[in-house]
Structure 1
Amino acid sequence: MPAPLRPAPRLAIVVPCYNEEEVFAYCQQELGALLYTMVQDQMVQPDSFLLFIDDGSRDTTWTQIKTACAEEICVQGLKLSRNEGHQSALLAGLATAAPQADAIVSIDADLQDDIHAIRRMVEAYRAGYDVVYGVRESRQSDTWFKRTSAEGFYRLMAAMGVRQVFNHADFRLLSQRAVEGLLRYTERNAYIRGLVPLVGFPSTEVRYARGVRTAGESKYPLHKMLALGMEGITSMTVTPLRLIAAGGLFICLLSLTATYYVLVRKFNGNTVAGWPSIILSIFFMGGVQMLSLGIIGEYIGKIYLETKQRPRFHVESFISQDEKAALLTPAHSEHQIEHDIPA
């Protein structure tokens, strides 16, 4: 006999925003319309809501969020005190939404991820899944370079033993207990895509086609993608350190072989002056040593940052709505709080 469906959840859709003034109105309109139809279809509770997180934007994003909060009962706003990065902003939104919601969906403000997949995510949640991954079945809207580099990164992470869903970014549904489990990982250098599989709980995938960005520019240029990749590798695996050890062992064995060859040549009287080979060897070993020190230094830097135990973020303003009234007096509904993710 199949397990009974969970009741319709109170759904929170969490949207990190950084300089999204060009796309915010479209994002709010589309997500608000989706939430309204889901309430009408009794898929989610009437007090479900959107939570926009302003990650220290320098444009009018926060002003637009405040206006949306004043006009729509289903909209909440969270403003971080400074730009902390996408992963920290997302964690701030999850930590804020978790006490209020049964299920939380995270999605980027550009809405390149298919918002209609959220309906299928909620259906999967009601069927008993605590984690529902949004997986891109097509990346044709991406450039060749971005598509190739992203897929190469996923394969590299898999080769290093990191559990990560292929072609999944940060579009997912988490149940309340899954979010609470995620927030127990208190490292400051968090890579959420790698942490969610560690939480466990029943999980499934929802596939969708990725669309094009409607307005504005991507907030993940090449240098940020490289930084995220480095964050993921050094936060989730020690394989690079083991590769250094393996490389060192290989070079030692190669050096012993070369030494044996040189000694044989010397005793046979076939010595040849070869300073070019010596210079090349010096440069080669110098490059290996510098690369090794750089990788080790990256890990030591992570240890340094973790030992400080600094908060991931501070919240400057939080605009919320209770179940009884909209923001009739926005000045009284916006309050200043300082918030750290619970341990």
Structure 2
Amino acid sequence: MEKPFLTVVVPCYNEEEVLSESVAQLTNIIQKLVMSESISNKSQIMFVDDGSKDKTWELIQQYSESNEHVSGLKLSRNYGHQGALLAGLTEAHAYSDCVVSIDADLQDDVNAIIEFIEKYHEGYDVVYGVRDKRDTDTYFKRNSALAFYRIMSKLGVNMVPNHADYRLLSKRALTEFLRYKEENMFIRGIVPLLGFKSTKVFYNRNERFAGESKYPLKKMVLFAVDGITSFSVAPIRLLLVIGSVIFMIGVVMGIYAIAQKIIGAVVPGWTSLIVSLWLIGGIQLIGIGVLGEYIGKIFKQVKERPRFTIEENVFEMKCKENKINER
């Protein structure tokens, strides 16, 4: 039986401080799997440079020349973490039997990849890396993440709690995944929709090896908004409910005002008027903002612009040199 060709996709943005350690640890895992005859000895670690401004791409090129298992993909500009991950998965699809995605910061335990491959050989098409605990997170990040998963669950989105983008996809799972053509690709929500046989591998998350987090609060909020609006129209329905409630309150207040006028008990005042104006005005602006979020997604989708542009592709070149056939 032919050993599976594994590609480990690693999105990178300004990761020069951690890249050498990432290469060392991931190469060690690949070599262990090759020695145990679990994967092909031609398997690759594909580092995807997402428009880095430091020496990340130069280092990737150096390692690709000195390390037979390292290759790279350079995007023409910064497309964001999900864009870089999508680019890597798309390019890996042609040559790989299975693909593992992992971040470059080494917070996800690379040793779990060995168990991923074991599960793959057992017949699983999707293997989720799930954090056993969140002790390394701040109080705010830990609780905001849990709140996000609860909200998504209430909205009917089937997500795996405490799972980020550390997972294995088989060839057929990846083929099906790439049929999804959303402009705003929320990968964590799409993978569970595939419906193939899946399982979980639990691991302990480490501290970031070096450098700074590429997901500050602002990006986390935007990511959550993308996830919610990509999978549910519940926010728009909520606006309808709020509008209906306010309309009913308005009817009641109108009847009350007319009654007060008839009995001559009207007392001029501005407090209720100002409060009403601010309340209604605020809700209207929120409503316009929510609708704008959906319309903006439609606007981006209908233009059908490329979701990423590749400037250099060392991965494909290495696969061809190693005579890896497209699969």
Corresponding residue number in structure 2 for 1:59: 54
Corresponding residue number in structure 2 for 1:170: 165
1:45 and 2:40 matched: yes
Corresponding residue number in structure 1 for 2:18: 23
1:232 and 2:227 matched: yes
Corresponding residue number in structure 2 for 1:102: 97
The two structures have a TM-score, normalised by structure 2, of 0.94
- Report the CA distance between 1:75 and its aligned residue: 1.1
Which shows bigger deviation, 197-206 or 103-112? 197-206
Counterpart-to-counterpart distance in 1, 2:200 and 2:256: 57
Match of 1:89 among 84, 88, 93: 84
- Report the CA distance between 1:178 and its aligned residue: 0.9
- Report the CA distance between 1:211 and its aligned residue: 0.9
1:9 and 2:33 matched: no
Distance change (3 Å), C-alpha of 1:7 and 1:207? farther
Corresponding residue number in structure 1 for 2:179: 184
Q: 1:1-343, aligned counterparts within 5 Å?
A: 8-320=3-315, 321-322=318-319
Contact 2:128 2:168 in 1 (8 A): yes
- Report the CA distance between 1:32 and its aligned residue: 0.3
Unpaired runs of at least 5, structure 2: none
What is the aligned-residue RMSD (CA, Å)?
Answer: 1.6
Contact 2:95 2:319 in 1 (8 A): no
Counterpart-to-counterpart distance in 1, 2:6 and 2:292: 42
Where 1:133 maps in the other structure, the secondary structure is strand
Contact 1:73 1:325 in 2 (8 A): no
Which shows bigger deviation, 178-187 or 62-71? 178-187
Where 2:131 maps in the other structure, the secondary structure is strand
Q: Tell me the alpha carbon deviations over residues 220-270 of structure 1, each in whole angstroms, 9 at most, x when there is no partner.
A: 111111111111111111111111111111111122222233334444443
Counterpart-to-counterpart distance in 2, 1:272 and 1:159: 45
Contact 2:126 2:199 in 1 (8 A): yes
Where 1:295 maps in the other structure, the secondary structure is helix
Which shows bigger deviation, 18-27 or 227-236? 227-236
- Report the CA distance between 1:134 and its aligned residue: 0.9
- Paired AA for residue 227 in structure 1: L
Unpaired runs of at least 5, structure 1: 1-5, 327-343
- Paired AA for residue 275 in structure 1: W
Counterpart-to-counterpart distance in 2, 1:142 and 1:236: 26
Contact 2:42 2:322 in 1 (8 A): no
% identical equivalent positions: 49
Which shows bigger deviation, 271-280 or 283-292? 271-280
Q: Tell me the alpha carbon deviations over residues 87-132 of structure 1, each in whole angstroms, 9 at most, x when there is no partner.
A: 1110110011111111100000001011111111111111111111
Counterpart-to-counterpart distance in 2, 1:274 and 1:196: 57
Where 2:312 maps in the other structure, the secondary structure is strand
- Paired AA for residue 150 in structure 2: R
Distance change (3 Å), C-alpha of 1:254 and 1:90? same
The two structures have a TM-score, normalised by structure 1, of 0.90
Contact 2:3 2:37 in 1 (8 A): yes
Which shows bigger deviation, 146-155 or 294-303? 146-155
- Paired AA for residue 63 in structure 1: E
Distance change (3 Å), C-alpha of 1:130 and 1:284? same
- Paired AA for residue 155 in structure 1: R
Counterpart-to-counterpart distance in 2, 1:322 and 1:291: 50
Where 1:77 maps in the other structure, the secondary structure is strand
Contact 1:7 1:126 in 2 (8 A): no
